[in-house]
Structure 1
Amino acid sequence: MRVRHVAVAALAALAFMGPERAEACGGCFAPAPVGNEVPPIVTAHRMVLSISTDQTVLWDQIRYAGAPSEFAWVLPVKPGARVELGSDAWFDVLDAATNPIVIPPEDPCGTSTDGSGSCSIAVGSSMGCGDTGSEGGDGFDLGPSEGVDIVSHGSAGPYETVVLSSEDPKALTNWLEEHEYAIAEDIQPVIEQYVTEGFDFVALRLAPGAGIQQMRPVRVVQPGAVPVLPLRMVAAGAGARTAISLFVIAEGRYTPDNFEEANVDRKSLRYDYATGLSNYGELRDAIFERNAQQTFLVPYSMQGTLFKTMDHPVTDLPVVYRTTGSTSGYVKMADAYVQQAYNNGETSSTTCAQRFTGLENDKRRIVDPCDADEPDSCHGVDPTTEIDRRELFCDAPIGSNVPLDDLAVALTGQHPADVWITRLDANLGKSAFGRDLSLAPHPSQVQRSGFTTAGLLDNPPCGTATMSTVAGPSPRTSARLAMATGLAMALACALGRRVARIAKNAAKGGAR
């Protein structure tokens, strides 16, 4: 497939690894620091929330500064929740493919160029956190604890997991304190309020003997539609500012119901031909300061992009996703996800991607025909109206019997042709964590691609090739991109000869 000229703008994240590390976390409750140990502070969250009438699934990864030898991951959940392992590839592709891309306005010189290019997800080395040999603690002591019911106790990969339930508002606080976790005074009433509201709690920690280097993403599956992000609990361990990137996967565009949503005004967006940069980062950060640092930016909200090709708005040619470690390009996000997982060692084969063909227009409902408590007990599906979600499973990695299934789990209860991906970014101040984030369908259901045409032009170099750029990351954004696995990600997109339609639209938007 021939794709025209592209300028590659790398979002290098490895430089921001330093002493920080990333784990999966809802509310983080680390042990009290010992000696000169620095208490961990959460600096960023990266989350995926899949919503259907069947189930709600939350993937959550954090980035924090500090070096605790132990940590506890605690999340309020509806009764019936379960904990499972996720994949790094799921975050890698969603993050890179939805990052905002600034397109320069009309080239007043009328120049053009041809070439080849791709949208790339560039993968670096694994994260060098220091103290990577740290191991988990002694595990949960599940002896009797007054007022707390142990709903379930098990393991997920390197983690030991416990689901707790109680009708005593102080029970969970007591349970955590009994297990030597310091609960901040401002978090105690938050826990008690969740208990009063009827929530159970998932608690997770590294199993005895498991090292930090074995950390894997986790996901929490809850029955029914729960379009809420538990920000009150996320406040545990948070610093003065916490970067949030949330990817909502649902049948429609979702918007914050109790927070402000905003977007960069393209009339104020400048593109500099001399440097190939824009002022997107400055405009974005100004939005993050609005409303007492409680505003979400929505740079991307599109229907069907998991399984269909996306045309570049300038060339009208398909955007190509390319992963490092592979010589092939992929024009569908789902295919890139599988290849990325293969590169990561999270699946042993990419043949499952062949079964994705045609899903972009498929109106059948994806269902789970198996009992979660008895995975081998499965019933048939109606192939005229349903898709067995196991058709979207990919082979397990070598040495494991757990398939690569984030895509299948995310789409359970949904119709492939109707699925949207909406990205919401924020840099929340501490006061924002006084309430949970409630999401609701957006009243307009208007799509927003990640491409934004700048309305203002600086230093047009006549006779020079047209360039595109990804918005330059601030240190906060770059830190967010290094979450979980420490992978460096880059996104570059095909951009070449301008078509008259796009140039005209850009000119109307105020190109100079």
Structure 2
Amino acid sequence: MTGAAAVARTGRRRVLLVVLVLLAVQLVSLARPAYACGCGAMVHDPKTTMAVDRETSAVRWDGRTEQIVMSLTVNGSAPDAAWIMPVPHRATVELGDPELFDELSALTEPAVRQRHYFWPRGGDWPFQDVDGAAAPPPDARGPGVGVVGRERLGPFDVARLTATDPDALRNWLKSQGFRLPASLATELRPYVAQRWEYVAIRLAPAERHRPLTGTLDPLHLSFASDRLVYPMRLSRLATTRQSLGLYVLAPHRMEPRSTIGGARPEVFYAGRIKPEGAVRDLGGSGGTFLTAIDQSFPQPQRITGDHELRRADHDTPFQRFRYTDTLLKVGGVPAWILTALGVLLLLAAAVGSAVVIALRARRRASTSEARRTVSSFTHS
């Protein structure tokens, strides 16, 4: 084989290798499942990217009706996407109040408690910076598919569907320009078996031809339910660590029945509240108990099903505390300075007393010596 032929053969191999690598990358991209989040799944064009940075949900349950308000913060290159959420009964959908989560966050803020320290720290005199400024503080039913409702809510196209076969849902998504990944169809089968319905929402940015990114308007779903259930099964599709944050409004303190394959849920607030504003509009009353729960899922594929929450044994309140450390002062003067001055005065008094005692002892000694001298002189 000539040198030119060898070079040409090597070049063909390299080109073939590059083609195979690009083909593999394309197949992986096409096979990528929808993005799974806490209570639903995103379906988008596999040629684009989509990620949910944060999911915040509030759940209101009175024993008969469940309401879920969810806000998503998304980013990526997808110009639109479809969000699918399974629900146990027929749901109504409307836009939620964006002020709700700000109010819930304020209600569950850690209470501030003050702690005092005695000795000065960095930022206190005499350990201030050169410019004298103090250091800054450290800083969750018929066959096929039936469209039982369709409406436009702001930027959202909302369809409420019944389906006894995921293929029917696949066909609806296809008619909207989306493809239902096989893995998502598989995870939907348990909901089909339980005769759940779906809320399918087409998401689009406010301006056409722009990527779907930022915080979306919250959506408010309501459906009949004699148990408080929060759909989580679809999160099994996620390939990265998942986290769940829930604000639960109910007559009593609530807790998950199990961990469903995640870390132990942590309560960061529990207490009876007096709802106002958007929280009151969600259906709260003077007897509302708010339970705020955080949970992480380091290995989402281990999720076993949906969260079902039950009444806790006791309505025990709980609140986090944030401590602020302040130099202890008395009358505006640092206590350590007053203490130091007091110690110095005591030392000075002690030294003075010692000197007085020494002088008196010396005087008595001198007087005694003088008397002995006089006595000796007289006798002589």
Fold similarity call, TM over 0.5: yes
Whole-angstrom CA distance in 2 between matches of 1:252 and 1:172: 37
Structure 1 pair 26–69 and aligned structure 2 pair: CA distance change class (3 A): farther
* 1:187 match: secondary structure: helix
Contact 1:26-1:233 at 8 Å conserved across structures: yes
Whole-angstrom CA distance in 2 between matches of 1:180 and 1:198: 26
Aligned position for 1:296: 265
Report the alpha carbon displacement of residue 431 of structure 1 after superposing the two structures with TM: 3.2
* 1:417 match: secondary structure: coil
Report the alpha carbon displacement of residue 40 of structure 1 after superposing the two structures with TM: 1.3
For 1:231, give the aligned amino acid.
Answer: M
Report the alpha carbon displacement of residue 97 of structure 1 after superposing the two structures with TM: 2.7
Contact 2:80-2:205 at 8 Å conserved across structures: no
Aligned position for 1:187: 184
Structure 1 pair 177–221 and aligned structure 2 pair: CA distance change class (3 A): same
Whole-angstrom CA distance in 1 between matches of 2:63 and 2:328: 55
Report the alpha carbon displacement of residue 177 of structure 1 after superposing the two structures with TM: 4.2
Contact 2:72-2:215 at 8 Å conserved across structures: no
Whole-angstrom CA distance in 1 between matches of 2:89 and 2:262: 33
Report the alpha carbon displacement of residue 215 of structure 1 after superposing the two structures with TM: 4.1
Contact 1:100-1:450 at 8 Å conserved across structures: yes
Aligned position for 1:445: 315
The answer as to 2:226 corresponding to 1:225 is yes
More strand by share: 2
Contact 2:170-2:180 at 8 Å conserved across structures: yes
Aligned position for 1:51: 61
Report the alpha carbon displacement of residue 417 of structure 1 after superposing the two structures with TM: 2.7
Report the alpha carbon displacement of residue 252 of structure 1 after superposing the two structures with TM: 0.5
Aligned position for 1:147: 144
Whole-angstrom CA distance in 2 between matches of 1:217 and 1:442: 29
Contact 1:41-1:65 at 8 Å conserved across structures: yes
Contact 1:76-1:199 at 8 Å conserved across structures: yes
Whole-angstrom CA distance in 2 between matches of 1:294 and 1:256: 12
Report the alpha carbon displacement of residue 304 of structure 1 after superposing the two structures with TM: 2.3
Report the alpha carbon displacement of residue 207 of structure 1 after superposing the two structures with TM: 6.5
From 426, 429, 433, the counterpart of 2:295:
426
CA RMSD of aligned residues (A): 3.4
Report the alpha carbon displacement of residue 61 of structure 1 after superposing the two structures with TM: 1.8
| TM-score (structure 1 length as normaliser) | 0.47
Report the count of equivalent residues: 269
Contact 1:300-1:448 at 8 Å conserved across structures: yes
The answer as to 2:112 corresponding to 1:243 is no
Higher RCO structure (Cα 8 Å, ≥6 apart): 1
* 1:240 match: secondary structure: coil
206-215 or 246-255, which deviates more: 206-215
Structure 1 pair 234–83 and aligned structure 2 pair: CA distance change class (3 A): farther
- 1:109-150 CA deviation, whole Å, 9 max, x = no partner? 499xxxxxxxxxxxxxxxxxxxxxxxxxxxxxxxxxx81111
Aligned position for 1:508: none
The answer as to 2:379 corresponding to 1:410 is no
Whole-angstrom CA distance in 2 between matches of 1:215 and 1:293: 27
In the alignment, structure 1 segments of 5+ residues that lack a partner are 1-23, 112-145, 261-291, 307-333, 339-404, 466-512
Structure 1 pair 50–230 and aligned structure 2 pair: CA distance change class (3 A): same
More helix by share: 2
* 1:444 match: secondary structure: coil
Structure 1 pair 70–226 and aligned structure 2 pair: CA distance change class (3 A): farther
Contact 1:29-1:183 at 8 Å conserved across structures: no
* 1:28 match: secondary structure: strand
Structure 1 pair 464–203 and aligned structure 2 pair: CA distance change class (3 A): farther
Instruction: Quote the sequence identity (%).
Output: 22
Structure 1 pair 103–427 and aligned structure 2 pair: CA distance change class (3 A): farther
Aligned position for 1:259: 259
For 1:147, give the aligned amino acid.
Answer: G
Report the alpha carbon displacement of residue 204 of structure 1 after superposing the two structures with TM: 0.8
The answer as to 2:24 corresponding to 1:27 is no
* 2:265 match: secondary structure: strand
For 1:223, give the aligned amino acid.
Answer: A
Contact 1:245-1:423 at 8 Å conserved across structures: yes
Report the alpha carbon displacement of residue 187 of structure 1 after superposing the two structures with TM: 2.2
Structure 1 pair 425–245 and aligned structure 2 pair: CA distance change class (3 A): same
Report the alpha carbon displacement of residue 66 of structure 1 after superposing the two structures with TM: 1.9
The answer as to 2:116 corresponding to 1:107 is yes
For 1:294, give the aligned amino acid.
Answer: A
* 2:99 match: secondary structure: helix
| TM-score (structure 2 length as normaliser) | 0.62
Whole-angstrom CA distance in 2 between matches of 1:224 and 1:110: 58
User: Counterparts of 1:35-184 in structure 2 under 5 Å?
Assistant: 37=48, 39-101=49-111, 103=113, 106-107=115-116, 109=118, 147-184=144-181
For 2:218, give the aligned amino acid.
Answer: P
Contact 1:258-1:437 at 8 Å conserved across structures: yes
- 1:257-286 CA deviation, whole Å, 9 max, x = no partner? 1129xxxxxxxxxxxxxxxxxxxxxxxxxx
Report the alpha carbon displacement of residue 464 of structure 1 after superposing the two structures with TM: 9.9
Structure 1 pair 226–233 and aligned structure 2 pair: CA distance change class (3 A): farther
Whole-angstrom CA distance in 2 between matches of 1:462 and 1:209: 54
Contact 2:57-2:69 at 8 Å conserved across structures: yes
Contact 1:54-1:224 at 8 Å conserved across structures: yes
* 2:199 match: secondary structure: strand
Contact 1:190-1:233 at 8 Å conserved across structures: yes
